[in-house]
Structure 1
């Protein structure tokens, strides 16, 4: 039954996220109206574009679980206004109070909306590495968002998590067992996955991509990401995956466009290194099998250059 509901949910949403559609929900600061992925688990799917004034910085997924004894929200959002808009949607769905915010990492789209939730007196949980990253980089991130969002960033201030965890935090709330996991190094410091074992659903955060190209940041080690995927994330054997960006899907799809992409890119860069290629040409190794992904133009060359720098001295 849950598989049928999942399929129906996807059928009633747009066929794919698109970086070409500036706003799918003009009545709200949210990019799209939350959809019920499986019973009691909802997600407002963000744009697969970079943050823009038009999409209000909502370019990641803001999810929440209506447990029966309160609501747990995954991601504070990229601005005060986004958190406030998400809360309005939650209130339209349930009268259960929001009892916890979980930040999926230390990036702006996960934490900059924390200020709103802190005003509501809601505890905010993040991995200790994500909290440290936000403490170090938050001011710069906020300035970047303010330049893009202008007046839409009003009210957005730096508020970090109120509590942190190291490896795993298990929460029993209402009808749900919720495992908050840090499976290992992946996309960025303190990457966090929210695993619902009884429902076989993982809110994967930036561990998993499929509609937009995975970004490789300065602190992203592609080989570590692959190893965490193969040794830990794959072992969840999730039926349903809500990725950090893009529509809910399954493990095969995110494997194809995340783990397989990283393996492919390392192989191409490895061939380039074997042929004594330099960094200038490494930017242009063939990534054409992934050229249809959103943000390809913004990220492909940068990704290749960073993987080259990582592999040069392996």
Structure 2
């Protein structure tokens, strides 16, 4: 019966809601892009826009999740600004009177850590991988400046606050009825990417290790071969029933495999063929990526991704 209830809740969440980068704001009553939904019992997520960050979505274009454990609330992602973290906390207070006791930052990017300034004011412990903390220390000022330019007056209150505690391999906590395991599986999208694994529920809150509904961006430091190795050797072993990805609606392993591992393999295959034919970087930008043109942010990212993969594979 419990399994049926979980399946029903998950199906409702994944079929009723649709992602679209054409919708500027799905929740005008809040700075959040969308109102948190209960994905499985006591695990909620405010699904961010699948578009790039904008003033209209307040920079909320990743997923902000929380777990009501029975002995406190665990939040996954500090949020991209003070205003977003505060808005998420207001939503948490609407469904429970349990205090927020712990915040995990999924990586060192601004959308994961800039909201730490709010949580620090609340006296909440903030945990991240050591590499993510180093990344935020190095590039946080740049992330803050970008967010202020984007959010204008909505940037008020946001300051640079890193995690209060870091780890290298895993960070495990038992709280109420939940066993919660923050794990570093290996190199993925950006330095210090972690997943939050709930073994009893067979759910992974994947952060940017896995994408859904929008094209993943490949940064200069995103080593695609390493990401695929992490996926095959570690992420697949979780064999999760439920996945809350870093971007896009909650789904299952098959879907994130298709749009993360599948896309990386496809693009590397195309660039490999291009290199074998002595293709140039200038032409690499235009390799065929049409099987993924349905993904949001395709227009913004496809050519950039191809160029960066070319630069990587040229020296592999």
Cα offsets for 1:240-286 (capped at 9, x unmatched): 00000110000000000100100000000000000000100001100
Matched, 1:167 2:169: yes
Query: Of the candidates 108, 111, 136, which is equivalent to residue 109 of structure 1?
Result: 111
> 5+ residue gaps in structure 2?
none
Query: Of the candidates 14, 20, 24, which is equivalent to residue 22 of structure 1?
Result: 24
Q: Distance in 1 between matches of 2:254 and 2:14?
A: 16
Q: Find the counterpart in structure 2 of residue 236 from structure 1.
A: 238
Cα offsets for 1:142-163 (capped at 9, x unmatched): 1011111111111111000000
SS in structure 2 opposite 1:169?
strand
After TM superposition, the score normalised by the length of structure 2 is 0.98
SS in structure 2 opposite 1:27?
coil
Q: Distance in 2 between matches of 1:91 and 1:297?
A: 38
SS in structure 2 opposite 1:302?
helix
Q: For residue 290 of structure 1, report the CA deviation from its aligned partner.
A: 0.3
Q: Find the counterpart in structure 1 of residue 189 from structure 2.
A: 187
Q: Find the counterpart in structure 1 of residue 77 from structure 2.
A: 75
Q: Distance in 1 between matches of 2:216 and 2:225?
A: 14
Q: For residue 8 of structure 1, report the CA deviation from its aligned partner.
A: 2.3
SS in structure 1 opposite 2:97?
coil
Matched, 1:308 2:310: yes
Q: Where in structure 1 do 4 or more consecutive aligned residues deviate above 6 Å?
A: none
After TM superposition, the score normalised by the length of structure 1 is 0.98
Q: CA RMSD in A?
A: 0.6
- Alignment check: 8 A CA contact 2:26 2:34 kept: yes
Q: Find the counterpart in structure 1 of residue 150 from structure 2.
A: 148
Q: Find the counterpart in structure 2 of residue 5 from structure 1.
A: 9
- Alignment check: 8 A CA contact 2:13 2:250 kept: no
Give the total of aligned pairs: 312
Cα offsets for 1:24-50 (capped at 9, x unmatched): 000000000000000000000000011
Q: For residue 10 of structure 1, report the CA deviation from its aligned partner.
A: 2.8
Q: Find the counterpart in structure 2 of residue 285 from structure 1.
A: 287
Q: For residue 4 of structure 1, report the CA deviation from its aligned partner.
A: 1.9
Q: For residue 170 of structure 1, report the CA deviation from its aligned partner.
A: 0.9
